[in-house]
Structure 1
Amino acid sequence: MDTSELEELLSPTKEFLLTYFLPEKCYNYFFVDLNFLHVPCWKIVLSKTVGVWIILGTVMAQLPQLWKVLRARSASGISWWSVLLQVYAITGPVVYCITNNIPLEVWPWASSSNTTVVTPSKVIPAMQASSMLAVVASRVIQAGTNYYHGNTGQLSALSVFLVFTGSLALIFTSLQETGDWSSVSTVTHVVAACLSCLLLTQVVCYRNSRTKDKTE
């Protein structure tokens, strides 16, 4: 097999890597020059990998929760206000990215930013900017609901764990973007991660609790 045939064979793989994980110069460092010790490129790969994980995790994190609710035929213990705020928090950044033609692989950085950008409509940037506040509010409400009932009901431990890891990833992307722990974006993500940790702790602590005779 000559060089041209090999390049043609590897072309789909190269295109996939260049689209989602690394720029062409890093591809050349790794696969042409065989320089696997290029630290700046590894940082780029790590950053883009985290970005892909955030996008996939946003969708996949809710699947265990959906399955648990469907299997139990009950959503007891889950605050509907919390769910609505989560939907709002996801919708804002997605609409913002689509409206501004932001490439899919850049969505985590765009959605993690609280910067309002001028667009033909002021509603979409406002939704994007307030999305993280909605995330924080949704977790506060759910944590309060858990405390009030003394149990976590049908709240999925796996979903909570995936959301927590996603929050940690968002802190990483925010630091990559701003480089500042004191920025509004980073602080908001840290607060969201702490609240996710609180929910995870409640799931563990309340796992054997009986449902109290209370209504939300």
Structure 2
Amino acid sequence: MSWLPLFLRAPIVSLIGENCTSIIVDDLNLFEPVCLKYSISKALGLAIVLGGCIVKLPQIFKILKARSAQGLSLSAFLLETLANIVNIAFSVRQGFPFTTYGESLFIGLQNYFITITILVLNGSEWLCMIVAALFVVVSYLLCDSSWTSTHVLSTLQTLSIPVVISSRLPQIMKIHKEKSTGQLSAFAVFNYFFGTAARVFTTFVEVDNKIILVGYLLSFFTNTILAAQMIYYWSPKSKSSKTAPKLKSG
């Protein structure tokens, strides 16, 4: 008999399972290695999914407030959105726990909105409608097994690894070239950095798929570069003022 009320115990069971709930909650064996690692992974996964719900909102608000997409790479968001779609379709059809990929759904929706917004701000309304429709069609085709076989989807998931890297490179190069992060959201960058670090752990614990793990490892690497750039170019005005030569008074 559990000492914890059912309405509190039930959500824990749904998250970590009956066995680990009995060990950790009922028996108060908090440091049982297997369940402890699994529970940490589940907690991190849930936190990542919740973070994914809002990670791009500051970026969206920043774009809308400035009515500018300066400093943002359209190709980066296009590629990242495509990678999100492939990852979601693959994870759903493989039956992976939602806590191991859920943030991809929410981030994908936010990337979808940002991509459309960038196109609109650039005056490409027709291209915006075409891209918006294509993403919807591709999502449907990948999720439907009658259109896309498991083998093809697995291949696409493998190919999405270089796509993820490619989605970051234009943004990294753009920041390096402009020596500024422009309208890029620091919250989004650092959320990605910590999120992918945690996702590497949760994938290692819960998902027996090396392709997914390698993808997150490489994503963590590129996010580390972006985070470093965000820190380095945090205040370009102050840096330029420091390096600017002083004028002698006449």
TM-score band (shorter)?
A: 0.7 to 0.9
Bigger shift: 134-143 or 29-38? 29-38
Q: For residues 96-135 of structure 1, what are the alpha-carbon distances to aligned partners after superposition, in whole Å with 9 as ceiling and x for unaligned? A: 3344555423536xx9xxxxxxx54235444433333222
Q: Please tell me the residue identity of whatever aligns with 2:81.
A: V
**Are positions 1:176 and 2:205 aligned together?**
yes
For residue 32 of structure 1, report the CA deviation from its aligned partner. 2.3
1:95/1:188 CA distance change after superposition, 3 Å:
closer
What is aligned with 1:17?
12
Q: For residues 131-153 of structure 1, what are the alpha-carbon distances to aligned partners after superposition, in whole Å with 9 as ceiling and x for unaligned? A: 33222111111101111212111
Task: Please give the residue correspondences for 1:124-139 in structure 2 after superposition, counting only pairs within 5 Å.
Answer: 124-139=153-168
* Distance in 1 between residues matched to 2:100 and 2:233, nearest whole Å: 38
* Distance in 2 between residues matched to 1:162 and 1:107, nearest whole Å: 15
**Are positions 1:147 and 2:191 aligned together?**
no
Bigger shift: 151-160 or 36-45? 36-45
What is aligned with 1:206?
233
Q: Please tell me the residue identity of whatever aligns with 2:11.
A: F
Bigger shift: 56-65 or 134-143? 56-65
* TM-score in terms of structure 2 length: 0.67
Bigger shift: 41-50 or 125-134? 125-134
Q: SS at 1:60's partner residue?
A: coil
Bigger shift: 95-104 or 128-137? 95-104
Q: Work out the number of aligned pairs and report it.
A: 194
Gaps of 5+ in 2: 106-144, 238-250
Q: SS at 1:37's partner residue?
A: coil
Q: For residues 64-112 of structure 1, what are the alpha-carbon distances to aligned partners after superposition, in whole Å with 9 as ceiling and x for unaligned? A: 211211222211000000011111121112223344555423536xx9x
* Distance in 1 between residues matched to 2:207 and 2:174, nearest whole Å: 34
* Distance in 1 between residues matched to 2:27 and 2:96, nearest whole Å: 32
1:41 to 32, 35, 49: 35
CA-based RMSD of the aligned residues comes to: 3.0
Q: Please tell me the residue identity of whatever aligns with 1:54.
A: I
Contact kept? 2:58, 2:185, Cα under 8 Å: yes
Gaps of 5+ in 1: 112-118, 211-216
Bigger shift: 29-38 or 131-140? 29-38
Work out the percentage of aligned pairs sharing the same amino acid.
28
Q: For residues 135-185 of structure 1, what are the alpha-carbon distances to aligned partners after superposition, in whole Å with 9 as ceiling and x for unaligned? A: 2111111101111212111001110000011111122134325789xx554
What is aligned with 1:26?
20
* Distance in 1 between residues matched to 2:214 and 2:94, nearest whole Å: 25
Task: Please give the residue correspondences for 1:1-216 in structure 2 after superposition, counting only pairs within 5 Å.
Answer: 10-20=5-15, 22-100=16-94, 102-107=96-101, 119-120=145-146, 121-122=148-149, 124-176=153-205, 185-209=212-236
Contact kept? 2:100, 2:202, Cα under 8 Å: no
* TM-score in terms of structure 1 length: 0.76
Q: For residues 37-88 of structure 1, what are the alpha-carbon distances to aligned partners after superposition, in whole Å with 9 as ceiling and x for unaligned? A: 3222111101111222232233322112112112222110000000111111
1:31/1:184 CA distance change after superposition, 3 Å:
closer
1:205/1:58 CA distance change after superposition, 3 Å:
same
